[in-house]
Amino acid sequence: MTKRATRTIALIAIAIVALGFILFQSDLLNKKGPEPPVEEPASAPPPGARPAVPVEAVRVSPEALRDVITVNGSTMPNEEVSITSEVPGKITKILFKEGSLANKGDRLIQLDDEELNAERERLVVQRNLNEKIAERLEALYQKEGVSLQEYEIAVAEVEKVKAELSLIDAQLEKRVVLAPFSGRLGLRLVSEGSYLSPGTPIVNLVSTNPIKLDFNIPEKYSQLAGQGTKVTFRLDGDERDYPATVIAKEPQIDSDTRTLRLKASAPNPSGKILPGAFANVTVDLREFGEAILVPTQAIVPEMNT
């Protein structure tokens, strides 16, 4: 084979390889799909200009705003007393049940009154006798059968016995211990048959409707709260808000705590609110009719430099 024939064959082989490569590349591009358009780069801000910052806007409008504070407090009974006896004596009857309701004037304790009743009966007989003697002497005095002095002595004896009867009746009244007001009785502290000395506690009586609320507010709010101020309070374990109204306040600031003590009253018909409970008290101090409320995120404090 001549050199010319060899060169011709080599050129043909190179042409075939090049054509095959071109066909392979074309098929590969068809499988990939068209290339995405190239985005034009954003135009750069003018020299010296700051880039734009995205912001969120909130429309504000006037609305009512209440100024309130929250303080700690305690519930208190409307009335509370430890029942005692004014006079000594043996307990003959216990006339109440522990934990029961009592009305004003209910009999709670009966003390031994046997001797007093016997003395009263004797005085009644003596009074009746003295009245008859006085009546006879009055008739005789009208006929001048006795002197005025004798008649007056007889009348005085009648009045004396009447006075002694009044004293016995008063002593008998004190032999019965009564409820001084309506409320709920606590646990009994005495037993039937025991001797009761004056001042010995018998039972506690508590009135809880309405219930009272005792709390203190800081000195700077003392001019904003007083009689008639509305408050609400919550008890531990109870998410309800109970309404109350301030009924009184101390006339002076406590110099030790720099607080003012107030007392509020709240309805408690069911008796569910017990005295002595801890309370979170919210005091309604004042109201602003049209206030502009701005979100806290929009407020940037200025730091002193």
Split into its structural domains, the chain has a count of 2
pLDDT at 20: 61
Q: How far apart are CA 196 and CA 233, in angstroms?
A: 42
Look at residue 273 and tell me if it is in a domain: yes
- Among residues 178, 205, 232, which one ends one of the domains? 205
Look at residue 35 and tell me if it is in a domain: no
Q: Residue 136 corresponds to which tokens in the numbers above?
A: 């006879």
Range of the domain at 278: 67-78+208-298
What radius of gyration do the chain's Cα atoms show? Answer: 51
As to burial, measured by CB atoms within 10 angstroms (0-12 exposed, 13-18 middle, 19+ buried), residue 234 is: middle
Look at residue 89 and tell me if it is in a domain: yes
The fraction of the chain above a pLDDT of 70, given in percent, is 73
- Among residues 205, 224, 242, which one ends one of the domains? 205
Residues 6+ positions from 244 with CB-CB distance below 8 Å: 213, 230, 231, 232, 233, 264, 265, 266
Q: How far apart are CA 245 and CA 232, in angstroms?
A: 8
The fraction of the chain above a pLDDT of 90, given in percent, is 61
Please indicate, yes or no, whether residues 173 and 226 belong to a single structural domain of this protein.
Answer: no
One-letter amino acid identity for 99? Answer: G
HSE-up (13 A, CA, CB side) for residue 251: 0
pLDDT at 151: 86
HSE-up (13 A, CA, CB side) for residue 26: 6
DSSP structure string for 20-41: HHHHHHHHHHHHH-PPPPPPPP
Domain CATH number, residue 253:
2.40.30.170
91 bridge partner residues: 111
pLDDT at 146: 82
pLDDT at 35: 52
Specify whether the CB–CB gap between 211 and 76 falls below 8 A.
yes
pLDDT at 42: 52
Which residues of the chain are under the pLDDT cut of 70? 1-50, 53, 55, 57-58, 60-66, 287-305
End-to-end CA distance of the chain: 99
Reduced to 3 states (helix: H, G, I; strand: E, B; else coil), residue 255 is coil
Look at residue 133 and tell me if it is in a domain: yes
Please indicate, yes or no, whether residues 186 and 242 belong to a single structural domain of this protein.
Answer: no
Q: How far apart are CA 10 and CA 16, in angstroms?
A: 10
Cα–chain center distance at 216: 13
Cα–chain center distance at 285: 18
Please indicate, yes or no, whether residues 193 and 219 belong to a single structural domain of this protein.
Answer: no
Q: Residue 15 corresponds to which tokens in the numbers above?
A: 């042409």
Average pLDDT score over the chain: 84
DSSP label of 206: E
Please indicate, yes or no, whether residues 190 and 215 belong to a single structural domain of this protein.
Answer: no
State pLDDT tens for residues 220-230: 999 988 899 99
State pLDDT tens for residues 71-94: 999 999 999 999 999 999 999 999
Please indicate, yes or no, whether residues 187 and 241 belong to a single structural domain of this protein.
Answer: no
Cα–chain center distance at 218: 19
